[in-house]
Structures are given as C-alpha cells and as structure tokens.
Chain A
Amino acid sequence: MNIPAPAVVSVSGVSLRYGDTLALDDISLEIPANRMVGLIGPDGVGKSSLMSLLTGARKLQTGRIKTLGGDIGDFAHRQAVCPRIAYMPQGLGKNLYLTLSVFENVDFFGRLFGQQQTERRQRIAELLQSTGLAPFHDRPAGKLSGGMKQKLALCCALIHDPDLLVLDEPTTGVDPLSRAQFWALIAQLQSRRTGMSVLVSTAYMDEAECFDWLVAMDAGRVLAEGTAAELRAQTATDSLEAAFIRLLPEEKRLGHKAVVIPPRNVDSGIAEIAIEADGLTMRFDDFVAVDNVSLRIERGEIFGFLGSNGCGKSTTMKMLTGLLPPSAGKARLFGDILDANNMATRKRVGYMSQAFSLYAELSVRQNLELHARLFHLAEAEIAGRLAEMAQRFMLENALDSMPDALPLGMRQRLSLAVAVIHRPDLLILDEPTSGVDPVARDRFWELIVDLARNDRVTVFISTHFMNEAERCDRISLMHAGKVLASDTPAKLMEAGGYASLEQTFIAYLKQASDDEDQPMAEARIGFANADLKPTAPVRHQAAQIDSRFSLLRLFSISRREALELLRDPVRAAISLFGTLFLMLTFGYGITMDVENLRFAVLDRDQTTLSNNYALDLGGSRYFIAQPPITDYKQLDYRMRSGELSLALEIPANFARDLQRGERVKIGAWIDGAMPTRAENILGYVQAMHQTWLLEQARRHASTPISTSLMSIETRFRYNPDVKSLPAMVPSVIPLLLMMIPAMLSALSVVREKELGSILNLYVTPVSKLEFLVGKQLPYIAMGMINFFLLCAMVVWVFGVSHKGEFLFLTLAALLYVIFATGFGMLVSVFTGSQIAAIFITFLFSFIPTIRFAGMIDPVSSLEGGARLVGTIFPGSYFMTICRGTFSKALGFAELSQYLLPLALASLLMVGLSIALLEKQAR
C-alpha cells in the first residue's frame, strides 16, 4: 500500500464531533493527486464529514488538513484556494436553487467566481452542451430528474475550472444509465485536464471498482486504502462488496452469512395471483408519472422493481397499496379490485416506505403497539404478537428505545416488523435498504426471504442495488413511468446477452431513450459524443479571483434572492399583499373610537323632563337608544348579555323633586368588561349630564345666571374630530414595515441553512458582506414598494391625507426598512430553523412596535423596561416621523433629528449580522 503520487490532501489526526456523536475518529490519510479517489462505505460512516472538512466548508475541530499545499484551517489559505476547489454536496441538487432555471443556476455560480458575461456565456454553453442539458436551458432545476440534477450540479461545480473536484455520493438515487454517463463525463474531464484530482464518495461498491484509488471507511475510521484490486487481494474476495464486509471489524460481521435464496416451490396447479395490475396509469397535471403498467405477481413470489428516482416506482407502489387512486387502469389484490376505501384489503397489505417513516416520538414498543391496534389485532393477542415480532426481528433489547437512537439497520428492521405485525399476505417494500451497510442489508434480506418462503408472503420490493435485484424471483425494469422489461433476472440477462444485470438494464435504458422524444434523445446522444473542449486557455483568469469586495458578486446574490422570492408563491404573496391585508385589519381593528353604544333607560318617572333626559343622550352620535327597561331583573339580564353598555335609572318623582329643589340622583350602570370603553362611556355620560344641567338651568331660571366660574377651551390638534382612524392608520405603517420585511429577510439565510445551499457561501469566494448585503437588497426594495403601497392605501382607501413632506418621510422609511431587514438578517444569522426565525422575528418586531414605540401610549408614558425599549427601539423614532408628516404637517426642519438614531440602528444591524455570520459550518 504505497502512496503513489504526491498528495493533494493530507489529513492528520482529524476527529469531529457533533454533540455526543463522534463522526470522525482520529483519521490520518493521504489522498493522491491527479486521480480519481473513492471514499467507500455506507451512510453515516463519516465520508461526508471528511469531505466537508477538507474543502474548508466545515470548521476543523482537532487535527490538521493540508489541501492543495496549504493548511485549510488558515483563513488566508482558504480564501486563496477556494476558487480552485469545487464541492458538490450529498443529496440530489443540494446546492442548487430549485426555482431557478438550469441556465440561471450555472450563471449564478459563474458570477460568484467573477466571470465576465462573454466568458460566462461561453463556458455555460459548453458545459450544458457536453452534459446534454442544453435542451433544458430554461427548465427550473426542481423539475429535472435526479440524474439531470446531478449533471447540473456538476456543471455548477465545473464552471470555474477547479483543480480539486470533490463529489459526495453524486450517483445515489440515479438510474444506471445516467450513472454510467456521469462517470464517463468525469473520466473525460480528467483525461482532458490531467492536473485535476477527483475525490468521490459512494455507497455503491460496484461503481467503486473503476476508481483509481479507494479509501474504505467505517464508523469514522479508515478501514483500508489501496486500489480495488489490492483491496480484493488483501481480503481474498472476488468483489468489493465482499471485501468491504471482510474489512469490517469482527463484531460487526458477527452472524453474517451470504444470503441464500431457497428455490420457490411453486404449487402444482394454477398459482394464486396476489397482485394483478392492468394498464395502471398516473397523471399529475400534464405529467405522466406511470404509463400503462401491467403486472401479475404470484403468491409467495419476491418481485423486484428496478429504476431510478422519479421513474414511477414509488408511484406504482402507492397505487398498488391504494394510497393513490390511479388515473386509469385497474389493480386487483387477491382478485378484489383495489379500492382506496376498502378497509378489508388494506389489512392484507403491509407497507414499508423509502424513508424511515415511523413515529420518532414514540418508542419502539409504542410504535409496534399502535400499529397492532390500528390493524385491530385482538387486545389479548397483542402482547404475544409483540414479543414474537421483537424476537424474530431482533429488537428485544431495543423495545423501550426511541427509534432515532437506533442504528439505521435496526430501524429498517423495526419498519419491517411494523409492516408485518398484522400478518399481511402482501408486503410492499419501497427501497427498504438504501443507505444501510452491506451486513445489515444482508440480514434484512434473510428476513424477507424467510417471510416469502416460509410464510408465503408475497414480497414486492424496489431497489437500486443490482445484487439485491438478482435475488428476486422476477424483476421489472422501469424507466420514465414505463416498464421496459419484466422477467427473471437470469432470463433478462440471457435475452440481452449481457454478463451483468447492470449492463442489461443500461441496454434497455438506452433503447428506451432512443424511442423518446427528440430533445431527450439528442441530449443523450449529445452527451455520449460530447467532445469536451479544453478549457485551459481561460484557466489562469479563473485562478486570479479578487478576494476583496466585489459588486458583481454582491449583485449576483441579490439577483438570485429576488428571483427566488418572486418564484415562491407563499413568500411572494406575503411580501406584496401581506402588508396591505394587515393594514386593512389594523386600520379597522385598532380603533379607539367608542361609538354606537347601546343604552336603555329605566324610567320610573315617565314625565316630560325624564323623557327629555333620555332623549338628550340618544341624540348624541355616541349612543343608540334601545327599548326601555322595565325592571331591575331585566336591567340585570340585558347588561349581562352584553346588549346594553349603559343603563340609566331615573327615579320616581324625578321631575317633582327637582321642581321642589330637592336633591335627586340618577343612577348609571356601565358595562365594565372593557375598561377603556367603560372609561369613555363614563366621560360621555358625565359631559352629557353637565350639558343637560346647564341647559335646564338656563331654561328654568328667571334671570340669566352664571353657571360656571370659567371655561376651558379645548383644542384637539392635528385631528380635530378626535377620530381614531386618521390617528391610528399612519402609525400602523411602522408596525407593518417592521414586521413583514423583517420576517421575510429573516427567512433568507436560515432557509439556505435548512435547504443546504448555504454551502455555496462556505465554498465560493463570496464574502460575508457581499452575501448579507446582497441578500438584503431585494428585501429593502420590497420594503420600499410596500411603503409606497401602504401610503397609497392610507391616503386613498382610508382617506387620511398626508400633510407634511413626503420626500422626507420616504427617506426616513428607507432608513427604517434597512433597519428592519437588517434585523431580519441578524435573526436569520443566529437561528437554526425557519420556524424559530419566524417566531423570534414576530416576538421582537410586533410586540415592541405595538406596545413600546408610542403607537397607543407615548414612550414618555411608559415605565421601567418598557421605557428603555421604547427609547432605544428605532420604531419609536419612525413612529414620530410618520405621525409628524402625516398628521402634523411637519418635515425635515422639525424632524431631522430623528434620522440619526434610525441610521445608527440600521448600521448596527448590518454590522452585527456580518460579524456573527460564519463562513464555515460548525
């Protein structure tokens, strides 16, 4: 095991922990340059972690890694070499932007690497041509097939002509033909650019056979290194898969034996048909997912379904389980037509889906119990059945664990146990073994074989693995919604004359592609004959990437963010109509007016005078008279029901006693349920009472008398009618301009964290400033559009005129929107999930603005912490400006002093978010 060439990456003593899990355990490794090096091993052994460390996307914890001749832990070196590295993360199209078109995606990466338009266009054209994506130039990345997504991701990675290409499981979930094409493409690239080193990880051992150098990994450690031949020789096995199992530590291999499939003893006579599908078709809108599929599966048969992601396998299986009603065609289960509403047939079917889809919040036992109960197993039987399942599927020690704490292989067994707990006759397994290590996979197969052969359960299974497919009694090859061929594996190979099932499948796929519509066929051919033009001439240019501030990069981020925002229906709708809708709500909702109060009178006097008192009240715009009250009981009832807000009682002999000059009391009951409203009613009634008294005094006095000592002349300024709406509506603008733009910008960074495209920040030359400001710009623009819309609404819908300097208000709004979006960015930088970002932004934008910014009570009326928040919160200043220009006819001269706090706050937000953003994953 000598290391052939100089190392492109050398790893020494690297460990990595995520919380309690040790992902990498003291790894030391030299990766030879100028070759295709494969990291092999199942999911979760540390391949991805190692790759993200050596590209600098993740922060090193312990150990050292030298990549391309320098320490990757060193910021300056990272900056210098990042244009020479391309990193394609795991997951189909993980670093792509799914709403952007093929061209827009590649173009975005080109811009990030500072390429000028002509150069970019030329490179993109070449790359799309050579990968066969040219005909899909304008198709959104989200609508590409898995294989095409991976090709697109490769184009994006290759746009800047890297020296080190790192591909993390690029072919997982891709059909064999696309896989073959993908590797051919990489091989061509490498032959053209001899200086390029390629590092690939994969879980498919058969694929790894053709790599130049292999590193086998398990549980965060390196098991072995060398060429495929060396590994096989070392373990004395004939396949890499077997070699890998040999390399595993003893305790993992314990009890492993090669899977043996006993022959099926077909009963004499006519075989019972478990599934019969006739012309099954599934259309989603104009897209045909499954096209006229017919199948017959006998009882006790293991039937395999092969095909790429998105070829219609899962959809077909869902139709067979009754999950999806077919658009056309029929399916029969044990002779009965499959009907989604027929509960009896469902009890005969067990289903296990691709991803682990049991309740992670329930323990293993609770999961089993729940399913047993939902399938209506007799209560007395459940305990026994549970124990039986636990024993058969080797779950005895895990019964009280939570599923997430179990290793993947065990979780798959749990899924299987759950699927068969009700003793189904038919078991439908949708890619049950993807991501599981070879040993666990074989163990899983033993269980399946046992079920099929001994319990005569019909097994319908889909897989990517060819060696698994070979174990099936019969298989169907599926592509683009059609079944290409269906027979026993041996007969299929024989018919095509190929040595392996993989080659057979590829042959069928090629044939199918030729029959497809023109562009697709062209794409395939174009790919096959692709002559990758040497990209060397422009190379030196790419290497000289300006690491300082670049407007081009900043605008490319802005452009992409804006496109994404506009293409997401929910976010786009909220960004444009959210504020308007909420403005209507708040405009009408936050009303301080107290009007149309219902009152009634209990008039025990029934004289002209007492009538006059009641009439006086009813004549006011604030009160609406209701039928009179007859007695106390009724008064109580009508107050309790909320019908009356005010009840008056005029005592008997009111007029007479008054005439005599005796003191009389009028009783008033106010509904105190809403204190503010009650307070207002109190004010009205007292004022009205005074007026009435004056009136009466004036009328009845023989000589003019002085009824008061002095008078107070009240001037309600800025809003002479003291109406709530004109006063409140302008103050809603600061609330909404804070809430919506902050909320949407808060989603921007954290969204990329959740979707994975944040990686592009880590591995491209874009700086934190360019990234954040670039992202913020579209939201600022959106905020300003919202501002103008809101102002228009205030003026034309609510009829509140703007009296002051609008230009000044616009300037203040701009600063305020920068603050609001900056605040959103800040939240986005330190939160981990979108839902947390929404929650935090709401909490810190809505509450301060509505409570502490002077919307209802002025800041000076607040106390303690509320006062402090009100004083430092920029919303308070913008609130003053808004009210000032709208209602008080003010402008720059009077209000300019409030601009400074706004400007400072926005600078602070932007500065803080840049400081807190990390350019590496932790």
Chain B
Amino acid sequence: MDTLLNIFYLGIKEIRSLGRDTLMLFIIGFMFSAQIYVIANGMPQSLNKAPIAIVDEDQSPLSTRIINAFYPPHFLVPDIIDQYATDPGMDSGLYTFVLDIPPNFQRDLLAGQNPTLQLNIDATRIAQAFIGNNYVQTIVNGEVSTFVQGHRTLVTLPVELEVRALFNPNLNSVWFGAVIELVNSITALSIVLTGAALIREREHGTIEHLLVMPLNPFEIMLAKVWSMAVIVILVATASIIFVVEGWLEVPLQGSLLLFVTSMSLYLFATTSLGILLGTVARTMPQLGLLLLIILLPLEMLSGGLTPRESMPEFVQNIMLAAPTTHFVSLVQAILYRGADFSIVWPQFLALLGIGGIFFFLALTRFRKTIGSMV
C-alpha cells in the first residue's frame, strides 16, 4: 500500500514539474499538432511534378499530342530539348525523364511498322524512376491508342484487371504520413520525457533527496514511467482525435480503445528505454546526442517509413527486438486496416515481452547507478 501511494505521489510530482516547464509543454504541443500536420502534408506524393523533357524529332500532330499529355501534378510541363541536350540535362539532374520521339514516328506508326520511342530515366532518383516509368508508358500508350483509333484494329484478350486499393482507396499519402508521424512523436516524446525527468533530478541534486527518503529505486522509476506514459497517452489520444481525424481528416478504421491499449504497452517499453538512457548520459547534452543515435534507427528501420520486407534480412531480425517495429505494425493494422484484437494479439504479446525486458534492464541499471548519481 505504501509502495503504491509512494508511486502515486511521486508520479503526481512529475506531472506537476512538467506543468511548470513551459518550453517542454510547447515542444509537446508542437510535436503533436503542427509537426504532424506539416509532415503529413509534406509526405512525398507518389509522383509529383516529375521533371521531364521531350526530344521531338517527329514534329507531327501525334508528337504534339504526346507532349501535351504531360502536365502537373504528376509531371512538370515538359521542356522541349535538342537531342544533344539529353546527356547534360540528365547528368546535371535537370530531368528525371527524357522521352525521345524519333523522326517519322507518326508515319511509321500508321504504317504499322511498330516504331520505338526511347525513354531515358535517371534511375538514381529511385522514387520517381519506377513509378514514373509506368505513368509515362500508360500516358503514351493511351495517346497513341486514341490517335490511331479507327485506323487499325488491335487484337487483345478481353481480360481486364480490376484493381482496388484497400484501406486507402486514393492512396492518399497524408493518411499515411499523419499516423507515422504520430508514432514518431510518441516514440520521441516518451523517451525524451523520462530521460529528461531523470537527468533533471540528477542535475538539480534532487535525486539524493529521494534516496534518503523511505523510497526504493523501483518506486522512483515506476513513478516516472507511469506519469510520463499518462501524459503521452493523453496528448497522443487528443492528437489522434483532433489533429489526425479532425484537422487532417484522415478516416481511421479500428477501435480507439485498442489503439490506446497498444500504446500503453509500447510506452512501457519506451519510457523504460528513457530511464536507461538517463542512467547512461550524465548531462542533457549527452542525452540529446544519444537520442539522435537511438531515435533515428528506431524510426527509419521499424517499417514505419519504408516497408520492412525490402530491408536486408539481418536488419529485419535485429529490429524485431525493437518495440517500435511491433508498435508500427500494430498501429497500421488497427488504424488503417481496422484490425481487431483477434488479429493483432501476437504484436501485443511481443510488446509485453519487450516492455518487460526493457523495464527489467532499466531497473537493474537504475539500481546499480543510482548510488553514483548523487
């Protein structure tokens, strides 16, 4: 009972302390509103204003028609260039695509000679290259087909592929960006808050005060964990309702309760990680540098930004030990795909296990180092 009360009062103290820290409050507010909004809207669209140039050696109605088929937002208005400008233009990165329409293209086409267009793609711009190729093919094919309609008949099999994108029918990148940024903010904030709460006690010398009181390290640590987790849960829930669903108008699928539950489990792991970092770093600047080294890999390699299956297998395996990996897949399943508990329980189990291990490690290290913090 005493233990529970201690943990409760100490946690209340943490929340009160945070309440006085205006800079931190501002950062929290910013991370969960403006930052999510800005980043979600700034997520690279699949193909946006790709720079293209066309070498028109045909100068025919058809070639003009093709040129006019490229326009924003997928492509920039094409530059009409000379053949000799192709290489410098691509070398300097001026164009991602250069389409070469050969002389007599229209004539050969109508004569059924199956002429060939040449499409140069700067494949170092991997994001535009692959998808852009499909777009260019589709656009040129479409223009050519319409142009020759009535001139010739084409034999094809009457099989149609009807594609539907589930969960995000228009493949809107804002939906994706908003949720991923929310996850990133949750990760960063929970680690920063607990790490900083510990370092602040250490820098102000209050930790030694706690240690002479009838409190044990377990109580001190758990108080920080629960209080900071509660803060993050509140802010993140508000953010998902007001910023993600309200402001950004992202239709979310699954149960909010399930999301909050999964977040609580995740926070158990990240706040423990924060404590762990707080015991390693001696000062705030050191904590800042450590965070940089820890947060970026967590965000980049967890499958939130880029698909996990594209990463080398050893990276995938290592990242299985990171709580973020499981949380990202949980969040995507719950919020995008409307998955329920019967689907996501394995991730719950994983988070519980990892959280337990992190908490245990942090507690062991906290016990060991707390004496030298004073």
Confirm or deny: A653 has a beta carbon within 8 angstroms of a beta carbon on chain B: no
Q: Which of B119-156 contact A (CB under 8 A)?
A: 119-131, 133-134, 136-137, 140-141, 144-145, 148, 152, 154-156
Instruction: Determine whether the beta carbon of B9 is less than 8 Å from that of A595.
Output: no
Chain B residues whose C-beta falls within 8 Å of the C-beta of A887 in the assembled complex: 124
Confirm or deny: A751 has a beta carbon within 8 angstroms of a beta carbon on chain B: yes
How far apart are the CA atoms of A592 and B125 in the complex, in Å? 10
Which of B94, B161, B206 lies at the interface centre, i.e. has the most chain A CB atoms within 10 A of its CB? B161
Instruction: Determine whether the beta carbon of B172 is less than 8 Å from that of A675.
Output: yes
The stretch among B44-52, B233-241, B259-267 that forms the contact with chain A is: B44-52
Chain A residues whose C-beta falls within 8 Å of the C-beta of B128 in the assembled complex: 857-858, 861
How far apart are the CA atoms of A445 and B47 in the complex, in Å? 76
A693, closest chain B residue (CB): B157
> Please, could you name 12 A-B residue pairs with CB atoms under 8 Å apart, sorted by A?
A346-B212, A360-B204, A570-B290, A582-B293, A593-B310, A640-B339, A662-B158, A669-B165, A715-B118, A719-B124, A858-B125, A883-B93
Residues A676 and B126 in contact in the complex (CB < 8 Å), given A353-B209, A595-B309, A883-B93:
no
Residues A642 and B329 in contact in the complex (CB < 8 Å), given A361-B21, A373-B5:
yes
Chain A residues whose C-beta falls within 8 Å of the C-beta of B46 in the assembled complex: 675-676, 679
Chain B residues whose C-beta falls within 8 Å of the C-beta of A354 in the assembled complex: 205
Per-residue interface assignment for chain A, residues 808 to 845, with 1 indicating a CB less than 8 Å from any chain B CB and 0 otherwise: 00000000000000000000000001110011001000
Residues of chain A at interface, number, CB under 8 A? 135
Confirm or deny: B311 has a beta carbon within 8 angstroms of a beta carbon on chain A: yes
Q: Which of A621-679 contact B (CB under 8 A)?
A: 637, 639-642, 658, 661-679
Confirm or deny: B13 has a beta carbon within 8 angstroms of a beta carbon on chain A: yes
Smallest CB separation, A672 vs chain B (Å): 3
Confirm or deny: A121 has a beta carbon within 8 angstroms of a beta carbon on chain B: no
A711, closest chain B residue (CB): B116
Instruction: Determine whether the beta carbon of A666 is less than 8 Å from that of B124.
Output: no
The 10 lowest CB-CB distance pairs between A and B, nearest first, are A589-B300, A672-B168, A719-B123, A357-B205, A672-B165, A834-B285, A361-B17, A838-B288, A343-B214, A716-B123
Instruction: Determine whether the beta carbon of B6 is less than 8 Å from that of A860.
Output: no
Confirm or deny: A903 has a beta carbon within 8 angstroms of a beta carbon on chain B: no
A888, closest chain B residue (CB): B91
Per-residue interface assignment for chain B, residues 48 to 87, with 1 indicating a CB less than 8 Å from any chain A CB and 0 otherwise: 1111000000000000000000000000100000000000
* Contact for A834 among B118, B140, B288, CB less than 8 A: B288
How far apart are the CA atoms of A866 and B305 in the complex, in Å? 20
Instruction: Determine whether the beta carbon of B123 is less than 8 Å from that of A718.
Output: yes
* Contact for B212 among A349, A715, A858, A895, CB less than 8 A: A349
Chain A residues whose C-beta falls within 8 Å of the C-beta of B288 in the assembled complex: 834-835, 838-839
Instruction: Determine whether the beta carbon of A838 is less than 8 Å from that of B285.
Output: yes
Q: Which of A57-86 contact B (CB under 8 A)?
A: none
Chain B residues whose C-beta falls within 8 Å of the C-beta of A665 in the assembled complex: 159-162
Q: Which of A685-734 contact B (CB under 8 A)?
A: 685-687, 689, 693, 696-697, 701, 705-720, 722-724, 727-728, 731
Confirm or deny: A116 has a beta carbon within 8 angstroms of a beta carbon on chain B: no
How far apart are the CA atoms of A726 and B204 in the complex, in Å? 49
Confirm or deny: A295 has a beta carbon within 8 angstroms of a beta carbon on chain B: no
A-B contact count (CB 8 A): 379
How far apart are the CA atoms of A242 and B205 in the complex, in Å? 33
* Contact for B122 among A323, A358, A582, A718, CB less than 8 A: A718
* Contact for B92 among A374, A589, A642, A894, CB less than 8 A: A894
* Contact for A318 among B168, B289, B374, CB less than 8 A: B374
* Contact for A686 among B161, B293, B309, CB less than 8 A: B161
Per-residue interface assignment for chain A, residues 315 to 333, with 1 indicating a CB less than 8 Å from any chain B CB and 0 otherwise: 0001001111100000000
Instruction: Determine whether the beta carbon of B118 is less than 8 Å from that of A373.
Output: no
Per-residue interface assignment for chain B, residues 1 to 20, with 1 indicating a CB less than 8 Å from any chain A CB and 0 otherwise: 01001100110010011111
Chain A residues whose C-beta falls within 8 Å of the C-beta of B152 in the assembled complex: 709
Residues of chain B at interface, number, CB under 8 A? 124
How far apart are the CA atoms of A652 and B80 in the complex, in Å? 50
Apart from A667-B162, A707-B156, list 15 A-B contacts with CB within 8 A.
Answer: A322-B211, A353-B205, A354-B205, A359-B206, A371-B213, A574-B293, A661-B158, A669-B166, A672-B168, A693-B159, A706-B112, A708-B114, A858-B93, A861-B128, A884-B92
How far apart are the CA atoms of A834 and B203 in the complex, in Å? 14
Residues A851 and B212 in contact in the complex (CB < 8 Å), given A586-B300, A709-B109:
no
Instruction: Determine whether the beta carbon of B127 is less than 8 Å from that of A375.
Output: no
How far apart are the CA atoms of A592 and B111 in the complex, in Å? 41
Confirm or deny: A199 has a beta carbon within 8 angstroms of a beta carbon on chain B: no
Q: Which of B160-182 contact A (CB under 8 A)?
A: 160-169, 171-173, 175-176
Chain B residues whose C-beta falls within 8 Å of the C-beta of A834 in the assembled complex: 283-285, 288
Per-residue interface assignment for chain A, residues 856 to 888, with 1 indicating a CB less than 8 Å from any chain B CB and 0 otherwise: 111011110010000000000000100110011
Instruction: Determine whether the beta carbon of A641 is less than 8 Å from that of B339.
Output: yes
Smallest CB separation, A744 vs chain B (Å): 9
Residues A585 and B205 in contact in the complex (CB < 8 Å), given A693-B156, A887-B124:
no
Chain B residues whose C-beta falls within 8 Å of the C-beta of A718 in the assembled complex: 122-124
Instruction: Determine whether the beta carbon of B117 is less than 8 Å from that of A710.
Output: yes
How far apart are the CA atoms of A790 and B19 in the complex, in Å? 43
How far apart are the CA atoms of A687 and B133 in the complex, in Å? 11
Instruction: Determine whether the beta carbon of B214 is less than 8 Å from that of A346.
Output: yes
How far apart are the CA atoms of A682 and B371 in the complex, in Å? 59
How far apart are the CA atoms of A698 and B91 in the complex, in Å? 40
How far apart are the CA atoms of A677 and B46 in the complex, in Å? 9
Chain A residues whose C-beta falls within 8 Å of the C-beta of B159 in the assembled complex: 658, 663-666, 689, 693
Q: Which of A560-611 contact B (CB under 8 A)?
A: 570-571, 574, 578, 581-582, 585-586, 588-598
B144, closest chain A residue (CB): A709
B2, closest chain A residue (CB): A376
* Contact for A359 among B17, B126, B156, B338, CB less than 8 A: B17
Instruction: Determine whether the beta carbon of B93 is less than 8 Å from that of A590.
Output: no
Confirm or deny: A510 has a beta carbon within 8 angstroms of a beta carbon on chain B: no
Which of A596, A675, A747 lies at the interface centre, i.e. has the most chain B CB atoms within 10 A of its CB? A675
